[in-house]
Amino acid sequence: MQNPEIVIPRPEYPRPLLVRDAWLNLNGRWGFQMDPQNMGMVQGWFESGLPQPTQVVVPYAVESAASEIHDSTPADVLWYEREFVSPAEWDERVMLRVGACDHWTRVFINGQEVGQHRGGYAPFGFDIDHALTDGINRITLRVEDSLSWTQPRGKQAGTTRWPIDYDSVTGIWQTIWLEPLPMVCIESTAFEYKVASAELMYTVGFSAQVDGLLEVAISDHGIVIASASAKTNARSETRLRFVIEHPQLWSPDMPHLYDVSLKLTNHQANDIDTVESYVGLREISTADGALRLNEQPLYLRGVLDQGYFPEGWYTALTDDDIRRDVELTLAMGFNCARKHQKAEDPRSLYWADKLGLLVWAEMPSGRIFSTELVEALTSEWIDLVKRDRGHPSVMAWVPFNESWGVWHQAVRPVQRAFVDGVVGLTKALDSSRCVVGNDGWEFSSGDLWTLHLYFENRDIATRLDELITDPSKSVTDEYGGHKRAGALPAAAAEGLPILLTECGGIGFGRYSDSDFSYGDIPQSEEALEQHIRKITDMIDTAGSLQGFVWTQLTDIQQEINGLLYFDRTPKLPLASINALMTAIGSKRDRSGRLNQGS
């Protein structure tokens, strides 16, 4: 539906799990105005138009160079506007979709408010058909974002800036588009696969309760290999069961994807919704202290990926840039990316699905416990789990990191109840993946016991053995004003797979007082490789570990601890990094344990 003569930033379809033919990409140049005095609502900018607009390039946050605003300290309130013509052939209701906009967004069509959304990471959409007119229409967005840590904001610098925080992200940062839809449409997919029974349970969510028929066909190379249908029975969700003979399983070694066609017939409105999707057949599980993929031991070789890009900041300039990050991660020998403090663009998960990279999906944290944080984090996390639980690459959910925002859960039951409650909620939404309740330390609940250990002045294996013997021992000397135990009292960490989910963090490449990394900074490539090898050798000898996550993929601002520079140039040859990382865990036996005889 796009005009090929107009150059549109990020022109690819933004939601790979639910693809429809008819859509209108609204990326590109918009009118833009900051509102530092918050006068736009009083003066009716949503009706009269912006009084002194400049231009911004959507979908890039205003802090980024690609937006052409490039203001690292924008006003708390921003306004966007543009005109569009709804295609004449669209005779159904029209939906406005926003991939992500940080943080509080109010949307107006021709001066009429059509909806509001709070949250900087989850997608949202509003019916706008009732506000449209024939011909030219005007869309206006009012976006408000604060520096408060009572809202989930990840590593965006707030009222206080740690050495690991970066410049903030404000406004639209994922694709915004229109699509025509029937009265009730398909809104989500989810799956659970069991290797032993070759059984696929496939769940489809709808925009409303509907009395109709859902039909699903699974194809491989254009040939339908399984199909099923079910009455929706006035529900907003339907599950279908498939047994696929001689299945090709999805794994990093062979990321096979099946095509899925979905058709929803609404008997009440006599209309039909059709969507194209895909699914990968794979099972994530744990058993006997080991992590498993498709009932085989999985040794996780992960890298911490903050998800920032040159010029685009939170947003890659092109889809090829997203693909390149996945390819570089695989080329360095990693089989997993821990997406850290950012809910990723669905295109990133698509390329992970397609190329074979496991992903840990993490909720961006706030840092001040409050009723606002409880409400905001829970609401947005639910939307993100629903958005991403159809991606086979996503193997773990991480709602909390290093007790951020729940600093006192060891002594304040309400904070621990919050963590445990979100773990339970996540499992209720998706029982097919691991849940890591609080990554790094102070384990309370979840499927994996994950620890962050950076400094190599003591042997990692020894420190791990001490924690296994006594989980109450501190993982860190002091963090956030307190020593942080490996696990909280009465937490059932015993017998769970143990992973070292932050390590390394070696700086290299610049030498100034503002640079940040963990430990000493090597002065040459040879010294860097030796430093990495020293740590990887220690990880390899830690027989209790089921995997690791290396900090980090790229340099970002003051952080110089990436394996790649920010422009994605490797600091060491990719083959050298690959050899170091793939050597870790290579001596494990089929149980996932270190073979001492090797």
Instruction: Tell me the β-bridge partners of 499.
Output: 450
Say what percent of the chain tops pLDDT 70: 95
Order the strands of the 124-127 sheet from edge to edge.
Answer: 24-25, 176-181, 93-98, 124-127
pLDDT of 170 reads 97
**Neighbouring C-alpha atoms within 13 Å toward the C-beta of 102:** 27
DSSP per position, 275-337: EEEEE----EEEETTEEEETTEE--EEEEEE---BTTTBTS-SSHHHHHHHHHHHHHTT-SEE
DSSP 8-state symbol, 45: H
Mean pLDDT of the residues in the chain: 94
pLDDT of 589 reads 55
Which of 256-260, 412-416, 453-457 is predicted least confidently?
A: 453-457
What tokens does 31 get? 């009118």
- Cα separations (Å) of 366 from 102, 407, 411? 14, 11, 19
DSSP 8-state symbol, 465: H
pLDDT of 479 reads 59
Contacts of 73 (CB under 8 A, 6+ apart): none
Three-state SS for 197-256 is CCEEEEEEEEEEEECEEEEEEEEECCEEEEEEEEECCCEEEEEEEEECCCCCCECCCCEC
Cα torsion 535, 536, 537, 539: sign: positive
Asked if pLDDT for residue 514 goes beyond 90, the answer is no
> Residue range 390-408: average pLDDT?
97
Asked if pLDDT for residue 4 goes beyond 70, the answer is no
Asked if pLDDT for residue 596 goes beyond 90, the answer is no
> Model confidence at 536, in pLDDT bands (50, 70, 90)?
very high
Burial class (CB in 10 A: 0-12, 13-18, 19+), 239: middle
| 3-class secondary-structure state, position 189 | strand
CA 240/CA 172 separation, integer angstroms: 36
Q: Of 222, 205, 220, 177, whose CA–CA distance to 275 is shortest? A: 205
**Neighbouring C-alpha atoms within 13 Å toward the C-beta of 571:** 25
Which of 67-71, 214-218, 440-444, 514-518 is predicted least confidently?
A: 514-518
Which of 178-187, 388-397, 463-472 is predicted least confidently?
A: 463-472
Asked if pLDDT for residue 592 goes beyond 70, the answer is no
pLDDT of 598 reads 44
CA 590/CA 539 separation, integer angstroms: 19
Which of 233-242, 421-430, 460-469 is predicted least confidently?
A: 460-469
Contacts of 88 (CB under 8 A, 6+ apart): none
pLDDT of 454 reads 86
Per-residue pLDDT reduced to its tens digit, 403-442 = 999 999 999 999 999 999 999 999 999 999 999 999 999 9
pLDDT of 582 reads 97
- Cα separations (Å) of 575 from 331, 334, 508, 515? 8, 12, 18, 27
- Cα separations (Å) of 65 from 103, 277, 567? 20, 34, 14
pLDDT of 48 reads 96
Say what percent of the chain tops pLDDT 90: 88
CA 394/CA 355 separation, integer angstroms: 13
| 3-class secondary-structure state, position 507 | coil
pLDDT of 476 reads 76
Provide the 10 A C-beta neighbour count for residue 537: 14
58 neighbors 26 (Cβ within 8 angstroms): yes
pLDDT of 462 reads 87
Q: Of 290, 215, 202, 284, whose CA–CA distance to 250 is shortest? A: 284
450 neighbors 400 (Cβ within 8 angstroms): no
pLDDT of 2 reads 47
Per-residue pLDDT reduced to its tens digit, 261-300 = 999 999 998 899 999 999 999 999 999 999 999 999 999 9
Instruction: Tell me the β-bridge partners of 124.
Output: 98
> Model confidence at 587, in pLDDT bands (50, 70, 90)?
confident
State pTM to two decimals.
0.96
Q: What are phi and psi of 147, to 5 degrees?
A: -95, 10
CA 563/CA 302 separation, integer angstroms: 13
CA 312/CA 464 separation, integer angstroms: 39
Per-residue pLDDT reduced to its tens digit, 81-125 = 999 999 999 988 999 999 999 999 999 999 999 999 999 999 999
pLDDT of 480 reads 60
Task: Give the H/E segment covering residue 575.
Answer: helix 574-583
Residue bearing tokens 């080329």: 331
